[in-house]
Amino acid sequence: MALLPSRVKYRKTQRGNRGGNATSANKLDFGEYGLQVLERGWLKNNQIEACRVAITRFLKRKGKVFIRVFPHKPVTARPPETRMGKGKGSPEFWVAVILPGHMLFEISGVNEATARDACRLAANKLGFRTRFVTRAISH
């Protein structure tokens, strides 16, 4: 299941601005426990899917998992061994722009130890520093 938008207004986008901290999706809104990112960058669609699989497999169909990120941004790449010029490359993959403080995943319906282990497995699939948050410290 590849995460990508069903349709977009523009096929190719510029790289954009990655400054600042997350102002939305930076608190627990749906679950009791969450995985919050502490660095900035791009999160690829296959990384999000790998985290989702790791969490759901560990929870064994108990609890509920909320995915708080979606890859809206296309990233283009040129074919290998291509000379300069001839325009922008075609979209290769999709990314979600991640700012510090963004909540990536939320979990509810399980105890804290289980949620902590599930988030640890997901964090190992990411190239970002993350932290485990609970309802008590997120507000």
What is the predicted pLDDT for the residue at 4? 87
Q: Tell me the C-alpha distance between 64 and 55, whole Å.
A: 10
Packing angle of the helix pair 45-59, 112-123 (nearest 10 deg)? 150
In the chain, pLDDT over 90 holds for what percent of residues? 81
What is the predicted pLDDT for the residue at 18? 84
Tokens found for residue 116: 């902590």
pTM score above 0.95: no
Mean pLDDT of 65-89: 93
Domain ranges of the chain: 33-76+89-134
User: Is the separation of the CB atoms in 102 and 36 below 8 Å?
Assistant: yes
Tokens found for residue 107: 């979990």
Q: How confident is the model at residue 139 (pLDDT cuts 50, 70, 90)?
A: low
What are the tens digits of pLDDT across the range 22-72?
999 899 999 999 999 999 999 999 999 999 999 999 999 899 999 999 999
Domain 33-76+89-134 maps to which CATH number in 3.90.1170.10, 3.30.160.340, 3.30.1540.20, 2.40.50.140?
Answer: 3.90.1170.10
The DSSP symbol for 12 reads -
The phi and psi torsions of 113 (rounded to 5 degrees) equal -65, -40
What are the tens digits of pLDDT across the range 104-137?
999 999 999 999 999 999 999 999 999 999 987 6
